Amino acid sequence: MSGSPLSDLQVLILEDEPLVSMMTEDMVVDLGGTVVGPFSRLDALVRHIEAGGGCDLALLDVNVNGERSTTVADLLRARDIPIIFCTGYDDAGIGEAWRSAPRLRKPFSDAELEQAMRSALGR
Amino acid sequence: MSADYARIFQSLPVPFMVLDRNLRFVEANAAYCAATTSRRADLIGRHVFEAFPEEGDNLRRYQEAFERALAGEENVVAFFPYAVPGPNGQRVLKYWSCTHTPLRNDAGDVTHIIQQAEDVTGLAAEAPDATAGMQAKVTKRAQRLESLSQTLRAEGDFLKRLFQSAPGFMAVFSGPDQTVELANDAFRRLVGKDDVVGRSLAEITGHFSATGASARPGTGSAFIAEAFPLLVRDPDGGAQRRIYLDFVWQPIIDDDGTQVAVFVQGNDVTEKVQASHHQQLLLDEINHRVKNTLAVVQALVLQTLRSTPSPAEFSTKLQARLAALSGTHNLLTETAWNGVELRALLHQELAHFGERRIALSGPAALLSPRRTVNLGLVFHELATNAAKYGALSVPDGRVTVSWQVLPDEEGRPERLEIVWEESGGPPVVKPGEAGFGTRLIERTMRAKPDARFSIDYRPQGLLARFDMPAEHGDAT
């Protein structure tokens, strides 16, 4: 998909479900992006960010091994990195501060992922 | 100084007599003897209806009155006509009002009846035209009042019992401090105190606190609350628990419009609210699992499609993977999602190859639901590869899976090591690029810190090692 507005994007993935992580990774690659990670644990992602690891966009699973990923989202926002939350079934865990953030409901299609990425990037 | 009760009794100006349970005279005071023109010595030991014969309606009224007294209930026989012998031997009609009081022993049993007999003939005679007809009317009215009073008392008792034992709590407060005037058993249980009457609402509910910005009852108007949340601090433990009440706070207004009291009636609905919360949690959990499973199925479909362009092969592979996923869910359902033994999971994936070709050895190791699902798919991929290219592709090949649980310094399970070893198959060739199975295994192992995975394509047979933290009942 070279030439697509999403090509050459560095897309960070946080997802603890191995199969879903693999699928999301393939979708991002098919859209022309490059995957950062994928991460399956919050602590590993926090270390990556604190070590200066960057990206253009982050896809964050909301519930990661029972923990909310909003703390990581705060770190990313402080670095002006757009975020898309991937939620399983409820939005309650996201919290007021992130109510307006774009989100994808699992299971999502590649078309929905592309739409959400464009929306998050304002393209 | 002890009083001489016998002398006091004898000297009382009001007529009194005492009957035993057989309605025989035990005692009668001087006023009684004078009023009935009888001698004490003649009365003692005699049956009351022998001393004062009655018949018909009068007999029935007295019998009933004595029975109720013996049953423990004070009662009055009002305005009762009875002729007593006059000073000159003639009968003189008199009207009596008799109060019967039960006398109890220390055990609380009624042993005697005390009758206070009052001569109320004057009331009838005072009327200027006190004819016999008039007296009969007065008598009738007195009897009606007596009967009405009995009905009211019975109703009152019934209402009182209802109030006391009603399942919902009820109380009446009055005054600026909202002092408790009445409270039933359920209210006492609610506040955890027996002596509530005469104490202020604030005092008896000091261990209650409202939560959040719930609306509170004000003054002057009724307040209806549903599932009103309160925190209750246990007096001994200091721990707080949350309760929910449905109640009506109803001011009682007199004719001037002044609030004279407040009536509160309600129910503790904590269990109902908790059951409803629990149901919501279950629904959320089911939603979570269904969405999660759908996402996994979607990923299986897309991943399978990616590696198998032929529709026939795609169909076969996908169905096998879905069957593996479904089998894992069956195991989880059997254990109510508490987790599955590693041996049971391996057995499910490998048993159909036959005991001769499969060896499983290791201690009990309970896998969390999440790990069960993921390892189930991993073992399915390993078994499928073994059947296609590895040891299980030839009749004499074998797969041995052995595992051990390594304890930490305090003896708790710390690590789970699993070794998958193939032998007796065709010479192993390392695949050119990581397939779905290998990628899935790597991704699965990466989800836990300190989890390691290695796969060795030994010519004599594939050797895979898993080393992961032991876990029990992780969140799914």
Of B299, B306, B439, the CB nearest to A20: B299
- What is the per-residue pLDDT for B88? 73
For residue B471, give how far its alpha carbon lies from the nearest alpha carbon of chain A (Å).
13
Query: pLDDT value at position B48?
Result: 92
pLDDT tops 50 at residue B327: yes
- Determine what percent of chain B is predicted with pLDDT higher than 70: 90
Average pLDDT (B330-355) is: 91
What per-residue confidence (pLDDT) applies to B135? 61
Q: At which residue do the structure tokens 């798919």 appear?
A: B377
CA angle B466, B472, B476 (to 5 degrees): 90
pLDDT value at B476 more than 50 = no
How much is the pLDDT for B125? Answer: 60
pLDDT of B91 higher than 70: yes
Question: What is the mean predicted confidence (pLDDT) over B455-466?
Answer: 93
Residue whose tokens read 């639901």? B369
Q: Which fold has domain B325-469?
A: Heat Shock Protein 90 (3.30.565)
Count how many residues are written for chain A.
123
B259-268 and B240-253 beta bridge pairing: antiparallel
What is the topology classification, in CATH, of domain B169-268? Answer: Beta-Lactamase (3.30.450)
What are the angstrom distances between the C-alpha of B298 and each of A23, B302, B318? 8, 6, 11
| Parts of chain A with a pLDDT under 70 | 1-5, 89-94
* B306 pLDDT above the threshold of 50: yes
Shortest distance between the Cα of B213 and any Cα of chain A, in A, equals 19
* B341-344 long-range Cβ contacts below 8 angstroms, 24+ apart: B341/B365, B341/B366, B341/B367, B342/B366, B342/B367, B342/B375, B342/B403, B342/B416, B342/B418
Please report the pLDDT score of residue B472 as a whole number.
57
Residues of B in contact with A26 (CB under 8 A): 302-303, 306
Kindly provide the residue ranges of all beta strands, DSSP E only, lying in B105-222, ordered along the sequence.
110-119, 169-174, 179-183, 208-210
B3-165: CATH topology: Beta-Lactamase (3.30.450)
The dihedral formed by the CA atoms of B72, B75, B81 and B85, expressed in degrees to the nearest 10: 50
d(CA B28, CA B115): 9
Token code pair at residue B167: 């399942």
| Amino acid letter, residue B343 | R
Q: Is A66 on the interface with B (CB under 8 A)?
A: yes
pLDDT at B20: 94
Q: Which residue, chain included where needed, has tokens 């080393």?
A: B467
Question: How far apart are the C-alpha atoms of A99 and A90, rounded to whole Å?
Answer: 12
- Smallest CA–CA distance from A109 into chain B, residue: B298
Flag whether residue A44 sits within 8 Å of chain B, measured between CB atoms: yes
Q: Mean pLDDT across the stretch B157-168?
A: 79
* pLDDT of B473 above 50: no
Cα–Cα distance for residue pair B443/B399, rounded to 1 Å: 23
Listing DSSP states for B295-342 in one string gives HHHHHHHHHHHHH--SHHHHHHHHHHHHHHHHHHHHHHHHTTTS-EEH
Task: Give me the interface pTM, i.e. the ipTM.
Answer: 0.84
Neighbours of B80 (CB within 10 A): 22
Task: Say whether A41 and B475 touch across the interface (CB within 8 A).
Answer: no
Nearest by CB to A22, which of B290, B297, B440?
A: B440
B116 vs B162: which has the higher pLDDT: B116
DSSP states of A26-75: HHHHHTT-EEEEEE--HHHHHHHHHTT---SEEEEESEETTEETHHHHHH
Please report the pLDDT score of residue B3 as a whole number: 63
What pLDDT, on a 0 to 100 scale, did the predictor assign at position B82? 80
Q: What are phi and psi of B57, to 5 degrees?
A: -60, -40
d(CA B305, CA B436): 11
Cα–Cα distance measured from residue B53 to residue B397, given in angstroms and rounded to the nearest whole number: 115
Give the chain A residue whose CA is nearest to the CA of B374: A18
CB contact under 8 A, A18 and B447: yes
Nearest to B471 by CA among B416, B430, B419: B416
Q: Does A40 touch chain B (CB under 8 A)?
A: yes
User: Given pLDDT bands bounded at 50, 70 and 90, which one contains residue B216?
Assistant: low
Digit-coded pLDDT (tens) for B389-448: 999 999 999 999 999 999 888 878 889 999 999 999 999 888 766 678 888 888 888 777
pLDDT digits (tens, 9 = 90+) for B170-197: 899 888 888 998 898 999 999 888 888 8
Which residue, among A14, A16, A19, A31, would best test binding to B if mutated, counting the most B CBs under 10 Å from its CB? Answer: A19
**pLDDT score of B19:** 94
Closest residue of A to B442, CA-based?
Answer: A18
pLDDT of B160: 79
Calculate how close chain B gets to A118, using CA atoms only, in Å.
22
Domain ranges in chain A are 10-121
Instruction: Report the distance separating Cα B142 and Cα B95, nearest Å.
Output: 11
Q: Which CATH architecture best describes the domain A10-121?
A: 3-Layer(aba) Sandwich (3.40)
Q: Say if residue B41's pLDDT is above 50.
A: yes
Torsion over CA: A77, A79, A83, A87 (sign): negative
The Cα–Cα gap between B118 and B32 comes to 9
Q: Collect all residues of chain A within an 8 Å Cβ-Cβ radius of residue B294.
A: 106-107
B257: tokens are 């419009």
Band of pLDDT at residue B475, cut at 50, 70 and 90: very low
- The yes-or-no verdict on residue B293 having pLDDT over 80 is yes
pLDDT of amino acid B124: 58
Residue A27's pLDDT is 92
Contact B449 A26 (CB under 8 A): no
Whether the domain at B3-165 and the domain at B169-268 fall into the same CATH topology: yes
Residue with tokens 């590696």: B307
Packed helices B369-388 and B342-350: angle between N→C axes, nearest 10 degrees: 30
